[in-house]
Chains A and B, each alone.
Chain A
């Protein structure tokens, strides 16, 4: 990952969402992107040139555009039509983004087009985030790494986020995954935790 004077950036065509440019690089703001916040914590998996990424919950393609700057191919799955319009615009300009209008809770809907991936990145505002993760882990290579951005408020607004994080970690471990790193995304994103996972 590239940093200029401590500022996280990505190489690529700018002007996607009005991001600042720094010496020709696109500034990747941890307050806007959870993955950037995780990188700031120092425990994010490196985005490498040859990687293939499955990105669940691509939304407006903001973070997707930065990921695409680093890796080989991004399969970006989004379910809602409105953000999909923006994601499509990003995909038209970035030739390594494959936009998929699909439902991450039903991976069989896109199983006929997604290849096996090095990185599974999940950022979905759904209650059953572990279930979605387990289903989509089918696409993850043996040596692959996964990042689960846990939105505790989407799981249950009434419960303590720390408790939900603990439960999620336990569920992942019971599901045959090795939880490498758990980190809260405060102060960049409230009530979010990033969980970095590999296969056992």
Chain B
């Protein structure tokens, strides 16, 4: 396994080891590029994952201090936990559900398609679906996505069967067990899904793709990749010519280290990535790195989300089996006649009794609440996930008061729903309930959004430097050897789950970086 010197200025430093960072690290290592991944969290292998929601949360979740503001309910119910993401090697690919969907063509062209939506800071991506298709194909092959590359779909569990029956009764057409990066048959040295049911707690069998046990060990096997867990990057440094030269990070013992670098790629998820750029402000870049546009931290998106749980006369046991292997795609298209632009997906979802108590209706108590929980074994559930509007005022800033243990200001997350998000959610709740009513639900519960799992857009791609932070390859407009490699690059959020697109962009970015290095452009 590689071990690079702190003063080795030929390495590419990647901050974060999730879908973006972990994939980029392996792809570069395969091409012979020397890479150091600095991961803030510990390395926890999959046999150590825990099938227990709160214990697993303590093991995996990013619980470092953050602050919140805005009218979103998360700020009231979970003021210190705006996002439910992972702090561990593998990042949020440890707890992701596995849903791997391509953007629709119009979702790369939202400004052209939706026009001027008041309050929305819409912009077309500098890339198109046609340009992304080969990269999507590579990502699907890498991750072993079902219903691509001849891989069969996963078998439907009880929760899916309820969703499917309701969807058919309503006349929905595109209903199946999803495009999932979860093995339905053994592939790539990993076994097939055992229907364990704790996808969000880390896949103990390894059937679900995660950079933790795919990209990272493969990259390490080349001898070109070193992963340093417990390494929290606090600052990116640059020289007088405005090129980045390396990073300062707290190592596992909390001691500050300086790793020199030829290139730095930031992939710490859409809250930490802009925070790092902002915390790296200097005399030359007083507003933070890569921020000449003022867009770093802005346009924070979290998807329009919500859930519908329904109770039936007879048992469902929704928690048995793959959590999110079930989808209705009929509402994903852009159909403004519904009263909003963009679309949404309806995906099976289950949480265990402990999380159901915490998230069904945060703060609620009394008989109406306990009656809902008494229905737990007869409950089916779906997640609603749709495109939300980027807004300049939804943003990550540095908290003026609260600091982390290294003295760095923590991220403050401000979010207000856009009227389009509200209209879409109302529609999605109604359709979700209708799916279950169609097969005899006795009661349905429109459940509010959980702390954000899809954090996007805070270092967005743009054709013109004045509109965004990075170009079509995730390279910052201002600093040629500084890249962004996670979902914060997203110019808009699309309806579907973001991971496949993050991976596709990372594979593409690796090609771009390797070529530019070879040509000595960076």
Does B bind A?
A: no
A residues apposed to B, CB below 8 Å: none
